[in-house]
Amino acid sequence: MERLATTPFGGGRLTGRVLARQAKIGQRQEQLKRGEAGNASGRADKWQLLRALTEARQVYGLGDRTICLLEALVSFTIERELDGSEPIIVFPSNRELSFRARGMAPATIRRHLASLVEAGMIFRRDSANGKRFCRRDDAGLVEDAYGFDLAPLALRAEEIYSAAEAARAEAKLARALRGEITVLLRDASRIITLALEEGRAGDWSNLLVTYQMNARDASGRKSSEDLQPFVGALRAFRTEVENAYLSSLSDEEMSGNDDDHEQHEQNSNTELTFESRANEIMKDADCETKPREQDRKLAISLSKLKDLCPLIKDYAKDGIFTWNDVIQTADLVRTMLGISPDAWSKAKAVMGHQAAAVTIAVMLEHAETIRSPGGYLRTLTAKAEAGKFSVYPMLLALDKPAQTKAE
Average pLDDT on 320-335 reads 88
Q: Does residue 298 register a pLDDT over 80?
A: no
List beta partners, residue 43.
83
* Helical segments of 249-340, H only: 258-261, 277-282, 302-308, 323-336
Q: Count CA atoms within 13 Å of residue 399 on its CB side.
A: 19
Percent over 90 (pLDDT), the chain:
25
User: What DSSP character marks residue 287?
Assistant: B
Determine the Cα–Cα distance for residues 39 and 260; give it in Å rounded to an integer.
68
pLDDT at 16: 63
Query: How far apart (Å, rounded) are the C-alpha atoms in residues 5 and 19?
Result: 6
Alpha helices in 219-310 (DSSP H): 224-248, 258-261, 277-282, 302-308
pLDDT, tens only, 239-253: 999 888 888 887 666
- Asked which of 29-43, 265-279, 309-323 is least confident by mean pLDDT, the reply is 265-279
Q: What is the mean pLDDT of the chain?
A: 79
Nearest in space to 350 (alpha carbons), one of 389, 324, 323: 389
The yes or no reply on domain 16-155 and CATH 1.10.287 is no
* Residue scoring higher pLDDT (34 or 6): 34
Least confident of 1-15, 266-280, 370-384: 266-280
Q: What is the pLDDT of residue 14?
A: 59
- Calculate mean pLDDT across residues 26-43: 71
pLDDT digits (tens, 9 = 90+) for 193-242: 888 888 888 888 899 889 989 888 887 888 888 899 999 999 999 999 98
Mean pLDDT across 21-42: 71
What is residue 234's predicted lDDT score, i.e. its pLDDT? Answer: 92
- Higher pLDDT: 33 or 98? It is 98
